[in-house]
Structures are given as C-alpha cells and as structure tokens.
Structure 1
C-alpha cells in the first residue's frame, strides 16, 4: 500500500528537530488552556491503556477528565447535565477525524447531511426534518445545536462547520438546553471542539500517517504533524499543526440517459412526446467510478504568552479547506427508471462542494485579585462556500419543464411547434460569511462556598448568498437567436437579471442574491452556593439576550415577459427583501447537586434554551381555492423555545473500577419552526412558520468497567419517546376571503377541489430524526510484553434505530416515482456497524491496523427527495487501514 510521501518528510523533520532542540521531557507542563483545563486523562466514556494514562489515578482504575462545560474547570462527573467527553488520545484510538466518524459513539445524537460540511446535528430527537442544501444559506432556520471551536461559535444554517479533528485536547457534547451560558444556538445542546494549547516548558511533537482501502472504492491516505516549541521557556511558546487527508470515492456515477416521459409534469409532457418534440440527454461526459472523493487540508498555529504569574495571552489562527467532489448520495432508481446497484447514482452535470474557513481567536486570562478572575475571548471567522449539485430530475416536474419546453401552454412560451430542450439542470451556490464574537467573563474562586460567574457577550454574524438554479435550457436571446425568433422561428428567452441590474448566469431560471444575519448582545450570570460543603450545592443562573436580525437582497425569476427580447434588457421579475426585526428576553437554569457519597452524585437540572427566528423570501398568497389564495406567507417567523427538566445520577464504584451515569429528562419544545415546500399547493418557494409543540421523554445511560487490569468495557445508550403534543392548523389569514380565520381544509380549482391535509401534523405523531433507541458498546484490552512493547486490541458495535426524515403528515415517498416535492417522508431503516483495531507501540513509535463498518452496511443516514428523486446518503463501506505514528 502507498503511504502519503508527506508522512516520511514530516517524520524526518520531527526527528531532526528533536535531536537539534532537546529539552528535559520531565519538566512539568504549565501551559494549561487559558479558558479550559488540559485534559491529561481519558474520558469517562473512553479510557486509554493503563500504560498511557497520566495523572494520579492508579493504572488499574478508570481515569478522570476535566471539562469546562460550565465555564469553570470541573471533573466531568461533577457536571450536573448529560455530557459526553472524549480526549484527543481517545479520538485517535477510535480513528475519529470528523463528526461523521464520531456520531456512532454518541447516543441521542443524529446527523442529517448531504455530505461533508452540508448538514445539521440533532440531539434527543429535536428535529422537524431537513430539506437539503439548495438555498440553505438564505432560507434554512438557524440550527438548534451550537458548534464551538474553543470559544468561537461556528453555527450556520443547515451547514454545521465540519472541523477536522487533529491535535485536539478534547471534544465535549453537552445535551439539553445551554441557553444561559452559550446562548441562542444551543437550544438542544452544544458540541465543543477544544484544541491543544502551547506548552511553555516542553519541546514536543508528533507525526502520523495512514493509508486505507474502501470496499468497492478508491484508496485513502492521510498525514498530519504537530510541533510545540517553547521560544522563551516558561514565558512564550508556539504550537503548530498541519494536516492533509484524502478520502477516496466509493460512489459510482453510472452511464445513463434521461428520456422525457408522457407522465412528466403531471401529464403535461404528453403533447410534446406525441409531437416528437422531446430530447434525450446522457451523462457520459461526467460518468465515472468513485466520483465522490473528499480532501481535508488545513493548519493551525497558536502562541501562548505568559505575561506574569497572574496573566497570560493566547492567540490562534486556523485554516481549513474542505474539497468534496461529486455527490455523497446514491439513487435506488436512476434517471430513466432503471434499478441501480449499491452505491450508484445517475448524475448529469459536474458537482462539487468546496468549503473554506479561516478563524482568528484570542484569549486574555488573568487574576484581578485574590477574589476575582477575568477571561476575555474573541474571534473572527471568515467562511467561503462554493457548491454545485445536479438538479436534472427537476425536469420531470411541471416547474422544470416550464423552463425547458416551448410550443404549448405548459411551457414558458406557447409559440412555435412543441419542442423540449436539454433536461440537464443544476444549482450553483456561492456563500461568504463572517462571524465576529467577544465575551468578557468574571468569576470568583471555584473553592469558595458562594461563588459567581458572569459576563457580557457580543456577536455579529453575516451571510451573503448568491444562489442560481440553472435549469432554463430554452435558447438565450443572443442577437442571432433573437433574429430567428422574431422571424417566426424557435422562441428565445432573455437572460435574467437581479435588481438593481445584476447579471446572472446564462440558463438561470430562478435564484436569489440575499444577505442575512444578526447582532446579539447578551449578559449572563450564575451563582452557586454550597448548602452543605462538598455535599449539597444549589446553582441558579440567567441570560438576557437582545437580537437584531435582518435580511435584504432580491429573489429573481424568469417570466414570459423575457421571451423574444434582447439580452441585457431588464424585464425580469424580482422581489426585494428588506426585513428587520429585534427581540429580547431571558433564559434561565437551576441545578441542585447532592453528593450522597464522595464518588456518587444525584442532581436535578432545570434549563431553558431557544434559537433565533428568521425571514421568508416572499409573502405571496398560496393554498388557492377556486383561484383565490387562502394563506399569505408571513415575512418572518419567531424563535422557538425549549424547557428541560432532568434528573441524573453519576457515580463510580469498586474503587473507581466501575462507572455508571444515568439521566431521565422531560423536554417541552414549543412554537417550533417548521418549513414547507409543496409546489402544487403552497407555492414554488420554501417558507417557514411557527407551528406545533413537541414533548420528549427519555433515558440515557453511560457505563464503563475495568474488568481486569487491562480489559475495559465501555458502553452508552439512549431510549426516547418523542411526540407532538398539539395539532395547530394552517389558518386562512386573508381578510375578506371565504373561510377567513378558520383552518384551511380544501384547495384546488373549480371542479377539481381536493382536501388539504394539515401540514403541521397531528397530535401524537413522531418528529423527524428521532430514533427510538441508540446504543454503542466497545471492548478494549491493553497489555505489555517482553522488550518494552505495549499492545492493544479493540472491538466495537453501534446500533441506531429506525427514524423518519420528515414529520408524520408529510406525504410518504414509498413507491413514489413521480416526485413533485422535496418533502417526501421516508423511513430510514435501523442499522448496526462494527469496528475493530489492533496495534503495538514501543518507545516513540506506534503502528495499528483498523477496520470500520466491518459488516459493510450500506444503510442510509439521510434519505430525501430534495433533488426531485429519491436519494440516499450511505454509510461509507468497509474500510481497512494501517496507521503509523511517531511522537516525542
């Protein structure tokens, strides 16, 4: 197998650096992270080999980990919420480099994604479905799970940043509302990526390289290197990491044709087929095997300055480029109705997703006096996204053929003989965003009986989205084409423009140039009091927030006014957006912790969370009955809110050889934001409203046991019962219309009236992405043998129960071949995966063999009709690999 050449160069450089710049390795480290504790030991869910454990713990016992989930340094077993924490060492042991790798170890967490950097994280089943990526930067609600890189918020609508996990101190997954300390994005929970910080006293480094093969796919390889240098020992140090990861593709874009059928467009295509005026298109130029490779490339450089014994300053610069080619989805049935094989697709245009970000962060950490500490942290993130995806299957809808056919009333132009042009279509999205944040925190000593933490927060988040749907294939009105059209020949259509006269690409039928974002100011505080020192503690806290939210720009589209007129003449139609609103309020929490023994705690937690609201692009009338609209789409939708009541137990037994954590929770999710896209009834653009309420009752367990000195069993699982608790309806809100202020129950034209199902769902129905159960189990054995070798083997299994991709009242996609909406409801079957690894280490070197998805499951983790065809995002097939590492 071929190992990336970068690995050998990196290894050679690090060995040379080690020889040239030797510092006593026994010097203790004093460079703890300014805003978080340095986790030198593995987590409660992921212990390491006894030989690699640091700290005071006996090698025969379970190890501890410190976290900063409450902006204070704590043992994870003392945090009164459900939390899962993984150290960097544990992430390496489990071969985790992305959140997609980690998800199998996280009960109560699901991920809906169209590919790397293209999805939403959900916790405890709090979801109303996922619509895919087209226009998501403009139309998608903000996520209800926050993502943080150290102290910087990385949230984004429908596109959680896919941070590559290398040189990580730890990763924390906080379940339940975190609205008091982490604000509006942390309604259902938060994911915190904590990076390693420079060490002031110790030269250290590492390098790692791997290569692997994927069943039925192309090879993969990766390399990364870390170097820590105390420039002024004890005072100033820098730390750098660089990485390159190539993941070979495994989805085949198979050769196919696209043949128009009489049933296309709800039967509107029949006259064209009868007249012989259709076209057949093929994908031969883009058909290829393994067409979905992914590359992560990036670097991070940080510097820590110890100003004096009381103050230090940290600055870090991160860069990452994610380049995903092709598509991560497969089709069970191809474009011409042919049954496809495993991991196959029929796509007709080039596809890619390039996601680039840079992040600058800084932290000042100090002691004002003996009774007051200060932390100021800030950050600035710049993210750029360029994505193109196939949209050819939209051509089978009435909307698609309208822009591709002429000669009958079903097309954009009724002039000339019936003819349809190429069905090939795609959407192209260019997004830039900036995210600036500042937080100032003050706190009193953590060992005081009465202690406080409080702070101020400011955030400025901006998105600029240029989205074009390019499925207009009727010829453009160039001078030559226009002359033919005006002479009685085939019609042409002028290129669209967006106010105030911005040209858009040839072939664009619809799109938007939109800007959106918000500014947030917040103040928060928390107070803890030891009612009985080391036994009973009460905590209360609250957060005041003020959001100023906005959306501007235009939505543009092509109309009949653009038929047979010169290009460059502004005759298109568009809708201007200039929306602003603000809202404010309080979100609070309260905890009661009782240590019934030094190593056993029970707790009760009350917590509240919310997520920001948003705007719709248009306010057109929809749900027409006899030609008259019954519903006016609202300009905006409000925040939704979550209230959590949770009781839990955390304890260790048998001299710290067994750990058991359990939590029971009742969550009420109210005024929930819900999106609709049903072109046949609710208009041809997605819009969001506030709708139903949901209730989630659940149980989560975490277990860990040191069976023998080297054998450890680790497991966790969740069981949820989630349901809708009310049944609102879509109310006629157009004054003067028949049925005003009552539920809409019928739509359609005279003589063809049909019933209208309540789009919000019925009481008792199950929300999307809410599996009933999830669990995982791992067994690890570490031992030593002659010659100073340390060895290990590890096996694991993960089970995710079945779940739906959309709410209960959305139309079922089972057996549907003529897709007319992106909201079809599919059952994603439950699945189980298996992983294993074995390795050996000696001195500074280690090597391991690993395998993931050993059962070669092809289960879908996200099934949808977002591209007007059933698509499935499969698990990566079986992977077998080897990894080589060196550290000093």
Structure 2
C-alpha cells in the first residue's frame, strides 16, 4: 500500500502533539459579539451539534435533541428559527458520516443533484433547476456561471462548471441553503448556497486532534488519509493560532483496458469510405497508456488561522488556506469501447494520458467590532486558483470534423492534394485555467434584542478567469523544413502549426481553441429590516439588494484552415477571431419573511425571495441554420442574466419535550429567461453558444425529521418530491433581416434539394428539465452506548435514494442506442439508485477507532452520463469501500 510522505508527516505531528494537554476538555468559544462572524465558528469539530439537531455522539447520555446554531442570515440563530429550507452538518457529524468531499455529502441532501465529471469538475443543482451539463472542455470560457453559490467562510468559490471541491476537515459545519439567496449572497446564489464554515482559533485552551484511515475499494486500489489539527493560545485570552494539515489518497478503480481503434468506412457519415477504398485505413492501439486503476486522486492541503482579541469590543481574524487536488486518468467509463466492443463494469478505452490538477490558495480576513450599539463586520478575501486538465478526445475522429484534421487526399480532409491517407486518430484536449477572485464586504447591524432590527452592508467583487484551451487532434504532419520540402515536391501535404495571433505559436497538433480573459466586477448594497409585531411570536422581515455588474470577455478564438496547408511553421495566416466584449447590467433582488411562533417549539413561515446569476458571452457570432444555402440565424455575442422567484411556506417544530423534530416546506418557484447552451454542428455551427430561452416552474415539498427514540438511539432522515416543468415554448427565431421567414420560427434547414425539418431546441411546454429527479430521500439510524466503565461505542447505518433523471432537456436528441455520435448534447436517462453506508466504533478517553463501509451494495450507477467526448460515457459512483479509522484528540 502506497503511503504518501505527507501522510507520514501528519502521523509524526500526531506523535509530537501528544504532550501533556490530553485532558479531553472542550475549549470555550473565542470572544466575539453574538451577531459577529467569529461567533460562527468558535468551537472545535468535536463539540458541535449534529446535522439539523442533536449530535448523537455527544448526546449519547442525553434524552432530548440538541440545538444547531447557524449564520445563514448573517446573524447567529437557532436553525429552527430560520425561515428557509436549510440543512446544517457540524464537523462532528461530518466525521461520523465519513464525509470529506461533496460527493460524500450529497447523499444526505434530498434536494441537491451534482453533475460530476470528476473531482473539482462539476455543477451543483438544487430543486431541479438545471438545463444540463456539457462536460469540461472550454468550460472556463463558455459555461454559464453556476446558479448555486459555494462559499468558504465568507469568500465566494463559485466557478463555471468547476465548483471547488473543498476538503472537509476541521469544519465547524456545512450549511446548505435552498432557494434563492440573492439578497444576502448576491449573483450566483440563484437556486441556493453551500457554505463551508471552518473552525476558528480558541483563545483559551490548547487543543488538537489527529486522524488516520486506511481502506480498500472493491475492484480497485487501496485508500489512505491522515489529518492533524492543533490550536495554540500564544497569548491566552488575547491571541491564538489554529492549524490543520491533511492528505488523502483515493485509489483508482477504473481500468483503461487495452484496445484498438480501427477507422471504418462509415466514419464521418461515410466520408471515410474513399480512404478505406484507397487502402488508407489503419489500426491504432492504446497499449502505452492502458492500465488498471488509472484514476487515483490525491488531495493535500493545509490551513492556518490566527485570532487577535484587540479588546472586549474588537477582534481580528486572518486565515490562509491551501489545497492541491491531483486526479489522474479520467473519472468516466464507457459502456461500449472505441472499436464497438462491449466493456465491463468500470472500464474505459482511452488513448491519451488524462489528468486534472486543481490548486488553490485563499487569504481571508475578518474584523469584528462595536460602534456604539452597532455591530460592525468587515470581511475580505483573495483566492488564486490554477487548473490544468487533459482528457482523451480520440472518439471525435469518427466525426467529419475529426477526419478533416487527420486525413488528406479527398474533399473530406483539410487538403485534397496527395494520395488519400489518414494519420493517427489519437486526439485530446488540454485546458490551462487561472483565476483570481477578490471580495470585500462591510456589514452593520443593530443589537439582536431590539424589537426593530436592521442589517445593511456594501459588497465589492472582482472575478477574473484566464483560459488557454487547446483541442489537439490535428495529426497531419506539421510543416517542418523537411516535411514542407517533401510536400512542395509533390509528396503528402503538411499543415503549419497554428498561431492564435502574430507571434503566439501553439503546440504542434493544436487544431482549434481559445485564449480568453473573462470575468466581472460587482458592486452591491443590501439591507434587511425585521420587526417583532408581537415579541417572540410574530416577526416580519423585508430586505433588498442593489447590484451592478461590469462584465467582459476578451481574447481570441483560433482555427486551423486550408491557408495553413504547405506553408512554413510560424506563418501567421490570421485565423483567429478577436473577442472584445463588454456589458453592464444592474437591478434589485428582494426578499420578505413572515414568521409566526405558534408555540416556543413550533414556527410557521412564509418566504418570498428572488435570485439571479450573471449573464455571459459567446466566443464568436456567425450565421448558421442555413436553408437552401441562406443563413437564418446569427448567433448572439452575449446573453443576459436569468432570474428565479420563490414563494415558500413551511413549519419547523419539535415535539415530546424536544425528542422529535419535524420540519417541512412547500414551494413554488418560477425560473425565467433561462440560460441554455446549444451545440449542433450539423445545423448551428461547430462551436457551443448560449442564449436566453424558456421559463420553468418547480413545485416541490421537502421534509426533514429527527427523533430520539431512546437515550442512545437516534433516527434522522429527509426527503423531497419535485414537479418541475417547462412553462413556455419559445423558438429559435430567424433574426437575419431580408431573409425568407425573417422574424418567424425556424422550422427547416438544409441545402438546396436536401431540406429537412428543424426541431425546436428550446423544448416544449411540460418538458422536464435536466438533473431533476422526481424524488430523493435518505434515512439513518445511530445507537450509542457505554460499557465496561468508560468505553463508548456506537453503530450507525443509513441509505440514500436518488430517483432517475435526464442529463439534458427534453428536445435534445436521444442517445439511446446511438453509436455514431455527432454532438456532445445527446440526452440520456440516468437511472435511479440507492446506496447504503454503515459504521461501528468504540472510544476510550482520548482515542477512538471505527470500521466503516460506503456503498455496501456496490452500486455502479452513473451520476453523469453524456456524449461530451463523442462517445457515450458514464461517471460511476465509487464502488464499495471498507475501511478503518483511528483518531486522537486532546
């Protein structure tokens, strides 16, 4: 079993840290005013309550449920007093459930789905608000901004199609807020927010913990992980630091099996036939990259924070976070291989090395204080994220587009000169992304015990993304001096290496791509007022946010064309399209709540809330959808924000002397002017573009419950039921003045004599949106007991059920039975699935040990089925894992 050196270092730190502080006490919280940010995260992981209510481990001898404190509304509240649908998982609960990544957490979130193309490569959706997911190629440039916001403490971590996968260690809690949160969390919090809230330094006690685990994956390689936490009051009561270090190795379980790739006369819709007839077909293999367990993932990171209590009214917190995620291979599998062979479970046929390396650093700071009776919070942050990803694109070679860059000698290739010949089909895409994300927020609040309370603030954000995307499937030889001389002497043609602009030479083999700079600056002001109409019984709240976005996209999109045939490498032929796009927009998003505490243990509420997400740009504008040779549609340069309006009623209650918790909410959501992407190279051009399209309506119900059955036995569960549908049916309208059918729906396309009907790509009324399962639910039982004078034991088991869902909207072409893939947007039904997890353990004094198992039924369901790589691919859930975990705390 491979043990990473950082794992060894963490274990060594554990040995060193076992000095005379092993008293097992729970440190008190650092000094902060009740409604200030530091108070969010003042307790170590082992002392918090569990998800939604009591922490079973700490409440083993308690007969009632506990209390969860959250800051979902920028003030400290009991979760039962927050008038929205929310779940919260403390650090202790995350440990109990063996949760370290979002893939682990989503099992307990009944209204959340995740289109995951691998670690750090996915989109989060809430309440079925999705229009599909296309994969990761060019996503930093072309993907719309997400409609679910991700926060690390007070810093936004959202990213187009690549939500940051924060490793969950030394967390105080994770909060999941459903429904639009645009008033407090701004653009991107359209459908909800996921908030990772870290533990903060404790000013008074030396404390720490360490944990290590090893495990085996069914059919795969072993796993191991380790982490250590240390809290040190440098000046007791005044200044303290807290550090955490972690390493996690997940062994691979997908086999890249040895395979061949044979060009067929049917490739490219029959365009390959002349090459086969000329004897130009070849067989290629992947033997140099084939291997078992080729998708291991290593996550390493550290976090250091310092808290300074300036005086009784002011404190300052600063934190530095670092994480590096290194995922090898690909996370997808193929039901059918590149040569049509049926593959086994968790197998793929890839011909090029693959990886995704995702590195970020985050600096964050928070100042808390009092200005008279007002509480002041200033918080800011700066995130630097760097991504390098490469994935196999060999199956694109079966399309007419792929052949164009790999064959010469007939009209189907880049050059019609020379004898018909095709070169290697092995292709890939490589994406290098860098981004910076800076934010500043200032909040002022009146005291929480006032009958009339006000919170207001200012916000500034600067988000910049630089993307260098390369599609490397050009295998015709480049025009080196020798190749060029041979071509000019009548030999096989060559193609000059592409240049994206004069003097910017691209790697050999690059056929297409972009160099872009994309981002926005946002200024916002927000305010919220609450009034206790009847103190402790009836409260009304109203709030609004004004936002102003300045958005841009600059750079070039480049191509390989016939002008590069038989010219020297380094020749610039002006094959790039310049992007210099800018737009601004502004507006208000508001919310209102009415809370009625029928009794101290029962509240009903009504919430009205609005959300939005920023618009964006397409790389180029071109005329497409030709009818009898005449274009009918001009792709737009930009698309506008979409918006969400939520009306929600709910109740939160506890019964039987705080032994049973029952929460429920019902909601009606209207998602308007929805951003939608298209890629139909046969009709709408050979690049993806986005437009504003249809409206959707979601009616749903969610229930959460928790019970203390006996002193040591707890039950926790939640579930959702959604009815989501499209409510209008816009069409793609002919927008080219003077053309036949101008300003009417496009219904036909094609060349003269070969006209065919054009299916409305926006969908029909009643269509079900993508990633919108009808139902999701989960439940778990935990039993805690003591024996033999001081040993504490537990056993827990649970299951999660996710209903079936589609990966794309209803009018996208079905992928069922399709072997000749010509688009990245085929629609597949992802079957419903159930997973079962369980664990058992014992603790004594400061030590604990547990055995755990995840996906015990060894389900291989797909969480993202797509044709993004021009072949049907599935991203499976991780197979069954069995492991042992040992922990120590002081």
Give the TM-score category using the shorter length: over 0.9
Q: State how far apart, in whole Å, the 1-side matches of 2:562 and 2:3 are.
A: 58
**Aligned residue among 361, 367, 370 for 1:367:** 370
Q: State how far apart, in whole Å, the 1-side matches of 2:815 and 2:229 are.
A: 48
**Aligned residue among 332, 341, 353 for 1:338:** 341
1:748 aligned counterpart, secondary structure: strand
Contact kept in structure 2, 1:496 and 1:557, CA below 8 Å: yes
Per the alignment, residue 413 of structure 1 pairs with: 415
Per the alignment, residue 177 of structure 2 pairs with: 174
Per the alignment, residue 325 of structure 2 pairs with: 322
Structure 1 position 6, deviation (Å): 5.8
Task: Indicate whether 1:131 and 2:131 are aligned.
Answer: no
**Change over 3 Å in CA distance of 1:575–1:262 after alignment to 2:** same
2:277 aligned counterpart, secondary structure: helix
Contact kept in structure 2, 1:380 and 1:435, CA below 8 Å: yes
**Change over 3 Å in CA distance of 1:864–1:12 after alignment to 2:** closer
Structure 1 residues 819-828 or 568-577, which shifts more? Answer: 568-577
Structure 1 position 59, deviation (Å): 1.2
Task: Indicate whether 1:49 and 2:56 are aligned.
Answer: yes
Gapped regions of structure 2 (runs ≥ 5): none
The aligned runs of 1:340-739 (5 Å cut-off) are: 340-369=343-372, 371-739=373-741
Q: TM-score, normalised by structure 1?
A: 0.98
Q: State how far apart, in whole Å, the 1-side matches of 2:875 and 2:2 are.
A: 28
Q: State how far apart, in whole Å, the 1-side matches of 2:355 and 2:2 are.
A: 26
Per the alignment, residue 211 of structure 1 pairs with: 214
Which deviations, in whole Å up to 9, do the C-alpha atoms of 1:246-296 show, x marking residues without a partner? 000000000001001111101101111111112221100000000000000
**Change over 3 Å in CA distance of 1:373–1:813 after alignment to 2:** same
Per the alignment, residue 288 of structure 1 pairs with: 291
**Change over 3 Å in CA distance of 1:50–1:360 after alignment to 2:** closer
**Aligned residue among 33, 38, 53 for 1:34:** 38
Task: Indicate whether 1:875 and 2:877 are aligned.
Answer: yes
Gapped regions of structure 1 (runs ≥ 5): none
**Aligned residue among 59, 79, 101 for 2:104:** 101
Which deviations, in whole Å up to 9, do the C-alpha atoms of 1:107-145 show, x marking residues without a partner? 010000110000100000000000000000000000000
Q: State how far apart, in whole Å, the 2-side matches of 1:753 and 1:24 are.
A: 77
Structure 1 position 469, deviation (Å): 0.1
Contact kept in structure 2, 1:562 and 1:572, CA below 8 Å: no
Q: State how far apart, in whole Å, the 2-side matches of 1:564 and 1:7 are.
A: 54
**Change over 3 Å in CA distance of 1:31–1:288 after alignment to 2:** farther
**Change over 3 Å in CA distance of 1:839–1:46 after alignment to 2:** farther
**Aligned residue among 829, 836, 839 for 1:837:** 839
Contact kept in structure 2, 1:4 and 1:211, CA below 8 Å: no
Which deviations, in whole Å up to 9, do the C-alpha atoms of 1:558-608 show, x marking residues without a partner? 000100001111015111000000000000000000000001000000000
Q: State how far apart, in whole Å, the 1-side matches of 2:19 and 2:284 are.
A: 63
Q: State how far apart, in whole Å, the 1-side matches of 2:26 and 2:836 are.
A: 39
**Aligned residue among 122, 142, 153 for 1:119:** 122
**Change over 3 Å in CA distance of 1:29–1:728 after alignment to 2:** closer
Structure 1 position 440, deviation (Å): 0.2
**Change over 3 Å in CA distance of 1:553–1:12 after alignment to 2:** closer
Q: State how far apart, in whole Å, the 1-side matches of 2:122 and 2:687 are.
A: 20
Structure 1 position 34, deviation (Å): 1.5
Question: Considering only aligned residues, what root-mean-square deviation do their CA atoms show, in Å?
Answer: 1.4
**Change over 3 Å in CA distance of 1:179–1:872 after alignment to 2:** same
Contact kept in structure 2, 1:38 and 1:66, CA below 8 Å: no
Contact kept in structure 2, 1:362 and 1:378, CA below 8 Å: yes
Per the alignment, residue 198 of structure 1 pairs with: 201
Task: Indicate whether 1:60 and 2:63 are aligned.
Answer: yes
Task: Indicate whether 1:222 and 2:225 are aligned.
Answer: yes
Per the alignment, residue 255 of structure 1 pairs with: 258
Per the alignment, residue 868 of structure 2 pairs with: 866
Q: State how far apart, in whole Å, the 2-side matches of 1:24 and 1:338 are.
A: 58
Per the alignment, residue 156 of structure 2 pairs with: 153
**Change over 3 Å in CA distance of 1:751–1:46 after alignment to 2:** farther
Task: Indicate whether 1:270 and 2:277 are aligned.
Answer: no
Aligned length: 883
Q: State how far apart, in whole Å, the 2-side matches of 1:274 and 1:4 are.
A: 54
**Aligned residue among 793, 796, 802 for 2:795:** 793
Structure 1 position 43, deviation (Å): 3.5
**Change over 3 Å in CA distance of 1:17–1:694 after alignment to 2:** same
Contact kept in structure 2, 1:29 and 1:202, CA below 8 Å: no
Contact kept in structure 1, 2:239 and 2:307, CA below 8 Å: yes
Structure 1 residues 299-308 or 39-48, which shifts more? Answer: 39-48
Structure 1 position 628, deviation (Å): 1.2
**Change over 3 Å in CA distance of 1:723–1:303 after alignment to 2:** same
2:751 aligned counterpart, secondary structure: coil
Contact kept in structure 1, 2:409 and 2:415, CA below 8 Å: yes
2:370 aligned counterpart, secondary structure: strand
Contact kept in structure 2, 1:365 and 1:375, CA below 8 Å: yes
**Change over 3 Å in CA distance of 1:126–1:115 after alignment to 2:** same
2:815 aligned counterpart, secondary structure: coil
Q: State how far apart, in whole Å, the 2-side matches of 1:234 and 1:701 are.
A: 43
Q: State how far apart, in whole Å, the 2-side matches of 1:6 and 1:568 are.
A: 45
**Change over 3 Å in CA distance of 1:23–1:364 after alignment to 2:** farther
Q: State how far apart, in whole Å, the 2-side matches of 1:11 and 1:46 are.
A: 33
Q: TM-score, normalised by structure 2?
A: 0.98
1:393 aligned counterpart, secondary structure: helix
